Amino acid sequence: MTDKRNLKIAIIGAGASGIMAAIKFREAGFDDLAIFEKASDLGGTWRDNRYPGITCDVPSHAYQYSFATNPNWTRMCSPGAEILAYFRGVARDHGVDSLIRYDSEITEASFDHHQWHLTSTQGDEGLFDVVVTATGVLHHPVYPDIPGRDDFEGDCFHSARWDDSVSLRGKRVGIIGTGSTAIQIVSEVIDDVASLVLFQRTAQWIWPLPNRLITDEEKELYRSDATARQAEYKRLTHRMNSNFAAAIVGENPDGYAELEQDCIDNLNTVRDPELRAKLTPDYKVGCKRLIMSNEFYEAIQKPNAALETGKIARFVPDGIELEDGTVQALDVIVLATGFNTHQFFRPMKVMGPGGRTIEEAWRQRNEGYMTVAVPGFPNWFMIGGPTSPIGNFSWLLTAETQFAYVLKLIERLQQPGVSEIVPTAAATAAFNQAVRDRIPQTIWATGCSSWYIDASGNIASWPWTFDKFEQDLKEPDWHAFETA
């Protein structure tokens, strides 16, 4: 029997997806691995984001690896520091940390003679048979296009670059943005600040998720009974995928109606009709990523809180000036303005055979086959590639599903005479046409601006149920791939 070819594999990114990929590669018998991480610590978005009140909006017992369920979560939706500690613990327990090359951002990747040549900020990293990108989408902060930011004399920073040296206690605080981050910060700091102004460009629908403490009795059950722990994981992931995710893509009208009514009822807890009107969105529930909070509406109604819907003109030395000339005097400004979710692994320069770059391939839009591979770029695989499911459910389940599919492709490279595998242009075109044909049936296409939409106006998400995602990625259609 012929021995399988040993492959040298590079994983780019040491966040949740990269840690999982390394563990699963080792389980499958691959041991020549390197993880390249641009920062000096692992953890990805949970390392970068440490703002007050940071919490996952997916229940803890679903936001975890299927193979490393945690009995000790403290809340239904755990705080960021607890999630980061979980990933550090899993990486440590599985010996992943020793594989990570920190402070090594991959700047260039070029393919020649069946291998990828990688260059990082540390220099030449050598040749690899396979590259798996696990860079996530929430790591390129977006700064608002508002003039005069350098003129502001107080403290100003992006929520993903939190300045730990700045105390908000007793300060006049302004927060720009109304996504999940802003809502969590407002809810957490409102009782500590002298005053808070939330600058709202677009109102958001908010689902009232109660973030209760997990009882000691529940934790003891999960510690003593791994079957109960796994059952809770399966129950929650099924509930999110079959109910919520299906509702958003038009497959569960009853579930959608219930979701919509819950959001309306939550909004109606705002007592002042003028404030309630300002907080009322003009688009359908779920068109933007739904925010989860049962604390925000109470927080924004407190005497030291204000919602500002006037358009911002500029930063000025003592605060923010609106277009009507009003100046909001502030000591601290937090830019909760989100991320560029369509940049993926760029600005890395990626060159396939013949020197064709990923920028050229994606000139019109980011497109891949089955969310994980790109024609013309052999042995290059993505966890979280274009049109991946990015709704309100566990990203970790998406990542595990994609990796299991990618692993089957990589195992094909171990066969005699196979050095390259890549999706065909025809299969990729057919897949992306099916995505575009299905998008109009989703809630995302009902009329709103969101981070699901790319610079060309394309809604870039999986437009079917999560069950279909799992089914479609269960086994590769080998006719959709070319080998060499």
pLDDT tens digit sequence for 5-18: 899 999 999 999 99
> 1 pLDDT exceeds 60?
no
The upper half-sphere exposure of residue 145, i.e. CA atoms within 13 Å in the direction of its Cβ, equals 0
Nearest CA-CA partner of 13 in 83, 92, 96, 93: 96
Provide φ and ψ at 313, rounded to 5°: -95, -45
The rounded distance, in Å, linking the Cα atoms of 49 and 338 is: 11
Delineate the domains of the chain, giving CATH numbers in brackets: 9-140+340-483 (3.50.50.60), 149-211+248-335 (3.50.50.60)
- Please give the average per-residue pLDDT across 446-470, as a whole number: 89
Nearest CA-CA partner of 377 in 392, 366, 391: 366
pLDDT at residue 392 in the model: 65
To the nearest 10°, the Cα dihedral for 379, 380, 386, 389? 70
How sure is the predictor about 457, in pLDDT bands with cuts at 50, 70 and 90? confident
Q: pTM (2 decimals)?
A: 0.95
For the chain, how big is the Rg over CA atoms in Å? Answer: 23
pLDDT at residue 239 in the model: 83
- Please give the average per-residue pLDDT across 120-135, as a whole number: 97
How sure is the predictor about 240, in pLDDT bands with cuts at 50, 70 and 90? confident
Q: Per DSSP, what are the bridge partners of residue 455?
A: none
Q: Mean of the per-residue pLDDT values for the chain? A: 94
The rounded distance, in Å, linking the Cα atoms of 258 and 319 is: 42
DSSP codes of every residue in 148-192: TGGG--SEEEEGGG--TT---TT-EEEEE--SHHHHHHHHHHTTT
Q: Return the DSSP state at 443.
A: G
To the nearest 10°, the Cα dihedral for 363, 437, 386, 394? 160
Q: Which long-range contacts (CB under 8 A, 24 or more apart) does 111-120 make?
A: 111/351, 111/352, 111/353, 111/377, 111/378, 111/379, 111/380, 112/353, 114/378, 114/379, 114/419, 114/420, 114/484, 116/10, 116/379, 116/380, 118/10, 118/36, 120/36
- Please give the average per-residue pLDDT across 375-388, as a whole number: 96
What are the start-end ranges of the H helices in 54-179? 80-93
Please report, for residues 126, 159, 226, 409, 449, the alpha-carbon distance to residue 332 in angstroms, rounded to integers and kept in the order given.
46, 12, 46, 50, 28
How sure is the predictor about 241, in pLDDT bands with cuts at 50, 70 and 90? confident
Burial class (CB in 10 A: 0-12, 13-18, 19+), 138: buried
> 399 pLDDT exceeds 50?
yes
- Please give the average per-residue pLDDT across 178-204, as a whole number: 97
The rounded distance, in Å, linking the Cα atoms of 302 and 306 is: 8
> 397 pLDDT exceeds 70?
yes
The residue behind tokens 């460009």 is 201
pLDDT tens digit sequence for 260-279: 999 999 999 999 999 999 99
pLDDT tens digit sequence for 220-230: 999 999 999 99
pLDDT tens digit sequence for 24-72: 999 999 999 999 999 999 999 999 999 999 999 889 999 999 999 999 9
Nearest CA-CA partner of 194 in 215, 167, 174, 173: 173
Q: Per DSSP, what are the bridge partners of residue 172?
A: 195
- Please give the average per-residue pLDDT across 184-193, as a whole number: 98
Residue 76 tokens, joined: 């239904």
pLDDT at residue 247 in the model: 86
